[in-house]
Amino acid sequence: MSTAPKPDTRPACPYFSSGPTAKRPGFSLDQLSDAALGRSHRSKLGKAKLKEAIDLTREVLGVPDDYLIGIVPASDTGAVEMAMWSMLGERPVDIFAWESFGEDWVKDTLEQLTDVDATTHVAKEYGTLPDFTKARDDADIIFTWNGTTAGVKVLNADWIKPNPDRVVINDATSAAFAQDIDWAKCDVTTFSWQKILGGEAAHGMLILSPNAVARLERYKPNRPLPKIFRMVKKGKVDLGIFEGATINTPSMLCVEDYIQSLKWAQSLGGWKALKARSDESLCILEDWVARTDWIEFLCADAATRSNTGVTLKIVDARFAALSADDQVAFMKKMTGLLEKEEVAFDANGYRSAPPGLRIWCGATVEPSDVKALTPWLEWAFGETIATV
């Protein structure tokens, strides 16, 4: 038997996936009627749309005027890989990881970019950060500003010492538009449309500082580069990429959706307003966790707790007594109940993270929906733990 009654109030929008995330409030397909469908992305109209997306990104996100912004293929992953394959190797690199995607950059560097002198710093467990004091002042750096699968973010970039001769690669896919990016400390910043803004997948954003441009123009790695990774022509950065002339063909429907998402963010007041929405949702979960005895945050340190992909762990003794496989099955059953009731889709933790919940609190999620979700979490837990 359940220990909690089925709640009366439901979230108006049940989409809590960490990517692709919920569409912005008020979204409808009618808003995409101005998309440049059936037109070449290299036409005057197509290029104008792409340039508009770039210009709005700069304005809404607060990117410095001397940084380049480009739309690239293969989502955030493609953007990070472009930077790694094109820039790494001139000097040693320190790689910091504390969740699955950061570990991908570790793996790719060690197994694919074998000519790179890499030192890795990996957190001991999910929910914690590595030791940033080990960052060398003269080495390149790769890190993830916010751990999408671990629910942990960096507190700030004070641990990065300025050095114009190196590049710092910042994977900000679940931090952009929700956290305060220290642009002066980041030479490459990447993100994808399907996170904070609830855009569609397969497109990545690549933001380069003057230091990153200088690296591209002076250093030619001794490795073949696929066409979609090439950013340099005749020794100079191909500025066309950063003015709307994309390397490959983008979806003009997705571009229009991204433009409309940026305009929505602009109407609220830019990235700071989006951050405030995420912060409000996190506060709601923090208040709920504080008064609920069977749940805790995977990230114990509130200062480094993500306000977007919020991860939770079950601390009930009956759950802890289960085997690892049974814990996974428990979470599948619990989140299955939430899906069956259509109150929360895709709330299960990431497959390589400890069994638990992951609730997306990015700006496209209404804080009121997060508040309405918490009684349902209690109900679903009660229903599931009663079967143990």
Residue ranges covered by each domain of the chain? 29-268, 271-385
pTM: 0.97
Q: Name the one residue in this structure whose structure tokens are 């123009």.
A: 217
Per-residue pLDDT, 45: 97
Q: Does domain 271-385 have CATH number 3.90.1150.10?
A: yes
| Mean pLDDT of successive 10-residue stretches along the chain, which has 388 residues | 80 97 97 97 97 98 98 97 98 97 96 97 96 98 97 98 96 98 98 96 96 98 95 97 95 98 98 98 98 98 98 98 98 98 98 95 98 98 97
Per-residue pLDDT, 367: 98
Angle at 361 between CA 151 and CA 300, to 5 degrees: 30
Per-residue pLDDT, 1: 44
Q: What is the DSSP letter of 241?
A: G
Per-residue pLDDT, 285: 98
Per-residue pLDDT, 361: 98
d(Cα 261, Cα 52) in Å, to the nearest integer? 12
For residue 272, give the H/E element and its range: helix 271-290
Per-residue pLDDT, 5: 84
Per-residue pLDDT, 3: 65
CATH class of 29-268: alpha beta
* Euclidean distance between the first and the last CA atom of the chain, given in angstroms as a whole number: 11
